[in-house]
Structure formats: C-alpha cells, structure tokens
Amino acid sequence: MPQCSGRRLAGRTATAGGGCATQQSRGVPAPESRCYTLHSRGRLCYTVIMIELLTFSTDDLRPSRDQVLQNQGIPAGVAVPAEIDALCSNAIDLMLEIAAPAGVLLEISKPDFATVYQGQGQNEASTPVGDIFPRAENLALFAATLGQGVSREIKNLFESNDLALAAMFDSAASAAADRLGELAEIRFAEFLDQNGRNTPETCVLRYSPGYCGWHISGQKKLFEFLHPEQIGLTLRDSSLMEPLKSVSGVIIVGPKEIHSFPMSYPFCSQCETRGCRERIRMLSAD
C-alpha cells in the first residue's frame, strides 16, 4: 500500500507520538538545511526549493502498542495476555534504544519527478502515482532509515531463537520506519507553511516504489536524485534498501481530491492489503 497517512497543511496540529519532524522544535540544533531560489531566463522566480538532512528524536518514533500488535496480525483493541503486552513493550524500548534514525528530504520539480517515476520502465501502465503527481502543487523525494543496528539486532534475535521477541522487535521497527515517513511529510509541510506555499485545502501524502503499480526498481532513479548514501542508505541489486528498516518515496502535496482514487487499477484485484482505502478514508475524515 502507499506509505502514508493524510494530513493537511493549514491549521495542522501535531500528530500522536510527537509530530515534530526534526529536533528543531525541541530546542536542539536545526537539521542541516539548504534552500535555493530558482531563476528562469535571468529572472528571479521566488520559488524556494529545499534539501534537508533530517534528524529525529527517538521519542518521535515511538510506535503505539496497537500499531506494533497490528503488525503481528492482532487487531487494534483486542485484549492480549499480559505476557504479550510486556513483550511488546520490551521490544519497543529495545528498538528505540538501538535505532539511529536519519533522513533526507529533497524538493523536486514535476519534470524531474516524471523522470524518477519512469524509473527502469517497469511500472504498470496506469498507476495512482502516475495519475496524481501531474496534478500536484509541490513534490519532494524522501528517504529515512532506522540504521543498520536495528536490522542487525533482528537477525541476532532470530539466530538466538528468541523468536517471539525477534518478531515483535521486527514489528516495532516496521511501525517506527513508517513513522519516519510521516515525519518527513510533516517536515515538508512545515517548510511549505514557512514559505507561504500552501493553501487551506492542501493535503500531503507519501507514496513509495513497490506499491500500487510503482515498480520497486523505481528506487534506482529515486536514489540517483536523492543520494541517501549520505545517511547510510544504499540499494541492493533487487532495489531493496539496506538497511532494510527504511522508507523512501515521494511526498505529493495538492488538493485532497487528487489523492482519492478508485480501486479500479488492474493490480487492485490482486491486492489484499487495501491500505489505500484507509488513507483515503482518513483524508475524507479531516
């Protein structure tokens, strides 16, 4: 499914679990950020684009118990034995102790994103992202990782046969990685707010290669533009990211309507996760 929760730019409030994309609002140094003013035929265009290295507080990443348990196939709100609750809590604490999160965010023009999206030419003929991004107001590429230590710990726990903790730790890390994507969205929204580039009805959603017909090989072009090697992220030959507990994609900013699409793409009939419906429902509920 696309990796996103919906949020509006104007009047947006912090989301559960912190909501600060960087440590800037917590009185610690601001992330490394550079902004550029675009020129066109010698004339100033007054469009500020940005590239930013993101830092995250581990508190911002803390996933909820329900998120982690849902990743284990346990529906939200279901009562579980105290032993499982304790396991979940331990796994979250351990994961946050080990995580070394970092991210990078790069604003990108539509023509450039068209090149990124084209990727290796393996996308489905028609996809939600392909239909949505031409109608966007602003776009940014992002990538973020929990760091190699998290992946190493998952492997260690499985190898030592601590299976329940290993799987719970893995689920906690997946939820935290997803949170990194949310925080990147929030940071880009803040940037647009600060530069007066939003409208009251603008919504921000992220989409990732590998989901909804955007082929996983699209990561290669995305990495060529974004250069997340600077935060320790690399691509395997298969286009999976290393470390594994990482997220990447495009943040699409535009009117709410552009993000709403029917499940009528050919590949939708095979999809069982249907996470897109929850995203669209959240947008409608805003």
Partner 1 sequence: MSILTEIVENLIVGDDEKVSALTQKAIDDGVLPKQILDDGLIAGMNTIGQQFKNHEIFLPDVLMAARAMYAGMDKLRPLLLKEGIPSPGKVVLGTVRGDLHDIGKNLVGIMLKGAGFEVIDLGNDVSPEKFIQTAREHDAAVIGMSALLTTTMSAMKEVTYQLKEEGLAGRIKVIVGGAPVSAEFAVEIGADAHGYDAANAVERVKSLISEN
Task: Give me the residues that bind partner 1 (CB under 8 A), please.
Answer: 71-74, 80-81, 83-84, 87, 158, 161-164, 166-168, 170-171, 210-211, 213-217, 236, 238-240, 244, 267, 270-273
Rounded to a whole number of angstroms, the minimum distance from the CB of residue 241 to partner 1 is 9
CB 209 within 8 A of CB 219: yes
Q: Rounded to an integer, what distance in angstroms lies between the CA atom of residue 268 and that of residue 145?
A: 28
Rounded to a whole number of angstroms, the minimum distance from the CB of residue 254 to partner 1 is 24
Nearest CB to partner 1, comparing residues 168 and 258: 168
247 membership: H or E segment, kind and range: strand 246-255
176 membership: H or E segment, kind and range: helix 163-194
Largest Cα–Cα distance of the chain, in whole Å?
Answer: 67
Residue type, 38: L
Rounded to a whole number of angstroms, the minimum distance from the CB of residue 238 to partner 1 is 5
Q: Rounded to an integer, what distance in angstroms lies between the CA atom of residue 232 and that of residue 103?
A: 9
Rounded to a whole number of angstroms, the minimum distance from the CB of residue 94 to partner 1 is 15
Residue type, 132: I
Nearest CB to partner 1, comparing residues 2 and 17: 2
**Which residues have CB under 8 Å from 176's CB, separation 6+?**
61, 62, 63, 95, 96, 99, 101, 146, 245
Q: Specify whether the backbone of 31 is left (phi greater than 0), alpha (psi in -120 to 50) or beta.
A: beta
Helix (H, G, I), strand (E, B) or coil at 72: coil
Rounded to a whole number of angstroms, the minimum distance from the CB of residue 226 to partner 1 is 19
Nearest CB to partner 1, comparing residues 156 and 194: 156
Nearest CB to partner 1, comparing residues 134 and 266: 266
Rounded to a whole number of angstroms, the minimum distance from the CB of residue 78 to partner 1 is 8
Distance of CA 192 to the CA centre of its chain: 17
CB 186 within 8 A of CB 19: yes
Rounded to a whole number of angstroms, the minimum distance from the CB of residue 255 to partner 1 is 27
β-partners of residue 105 are 52, 142
Nearest CB to partner 1, comparing residues 2 and 31: 2
Nearest CB to partner 1, comparing residues 32 and 85: 85
End-to-end Cα spacing for the chain: 20
Rounded to a whole number of angstroms, the minimum distance from the CB of residue 245 to partner 1 is 9
Nearest CB to partner 1, comparing residues 39 and 152: 152
Beta-strand pair 102-107/138-145: antiparallel
When computed from its CA atoms, the radius of gyration of the chain, rounded to whole angstroms, is: 19
Nearest CB to partner 1, comparing residues 18 and 119: 119
